[in-house]
Amino acid sequence: MIFQKFPRFLHTSRLAMASVEKNALATLRKKTGYTFANCKKALELHNNDIKLAEKWLNEQAQSMGWSKATKLAQRVTSQGLVGVLVRGNIGAMVEVNCETDFVARNEHFKIFLDHVSRVCAQYTELTQFDGDLWKSGFEAEALRNLKAPDGKSLADHLALLIGTVGENAAIRRAICFKVNNDLKLSGYAHPQAASIASTQNVTQVGKYGAIVAFRSPHQDEELQKNLCQHIIGLNPQKVGEEGKDEPLSNKDDETCLIHQEFLVDEERTVGEVLKENSLEIIDYQRYECGEVAKNEELEQAKLSN
């Protein structure tokens, strides 16, 4: 009788073990995003211990990522996205580049852009300063050296991204804002794939981005969004000052923000809209993915002389 039950016990044990392995495989794949074959191998090597398997997978991916990053380093990265993150009195705008628009639309790429934006915001949050506004730019090398919450540098995370998407990628630049007292921040990225109910603590992504520091007794999110859209669309070179900066005779050539025709209402200038809404723009920054920044223009000028 005992021997009759023994084969049934073995069969049941095998089914239970197969179920455990299947669940572990599904959990690991969902958690890491790695391929079925790699997850299966990792679990086999570590007796279905998900934590050890995940650690091994990340180490392998990091190693392969750095190897691929080295091989692809000379490839041109002319595509990419701009990320805009505003969280209370902190704002960060980041540009990350890749080789093709196809990869720029990849979810892994967007997640990485969000990650870089949040690391920049984290460092900005630690900044102490006197006054109303602090603004600082980060160039590529400084960004690569920033540490993420897991202790790894953004360069390490970038290598992982390159290993995942199979293209060269680069963290190009970032600009960070922090405001005190009665100043506020607003940000916008264009174009957006879908409407966002609230932009607070959400990394917006697009080919263009803008962050605006302003003073106002009101909280009109639609107006703030429209002003950011205007800055993206008309690319003013400065805010301007009434009585000091005179408007140009040809409105199409106007580069002073307060004298430009408002993008959403050409019957009024931006200056008139600001007055009507008791809003004062203190500073702003605009990014266009792939544009030549002023510091790069200066560098190119030095090389040509």
pTM for this structure? 0.78
In order of their start, the domains of the chain are: 22-62 (1.10.8.10), 79-288 (3.30.479.20)
The span from the CA of 285 to the CA of 266, in Å, is 23
Q: How confident is the model at residue 33 (pLDDT cuts 50, 70, 90)?
A: low
* 78-87, 189-198, 226-235: range with lowest mean pLDDT: 189-198
Question: What confidence tier does 290 reach under pLDDT thresholds 50, 70, 90?
Answer: very high
Q: What type of residue sits at position 278? A: S
Tokens 């990014």 appear where?
287
* Contact (CB, 8 A) for 236 and 260: yes
Nearest one of 270, 272, 276, 243 to 254, comparing CA atoms: 270
DSSP state of 228: H
Phi-psi region of 33 (alpha: psi -120 to 50; beta: other; left: phi over 0): left
Question: Measured between alpha carbons, how far is 48 from 37 in angstroms, rounded to an integer?
Answer: 14
SS3 label, residue 146? coil
3-state secondary structure of 94: strand
Is residue 305 predicted with pLDDT exceeding 60? Answer: no
pLDDT score recorded for residue 78: 92
Helix (H, G, I), strand (E, B) or coil at 170: strand
* pLDDT, mean of residues 97-121: 95
Q: How far is CA 129 from CA 45, 117, 271, 300, in A?
A: 52, 21, 30, 34
User: Tens of pLDDT along 63-80?
Assistant: 767 677 778 888 889 999
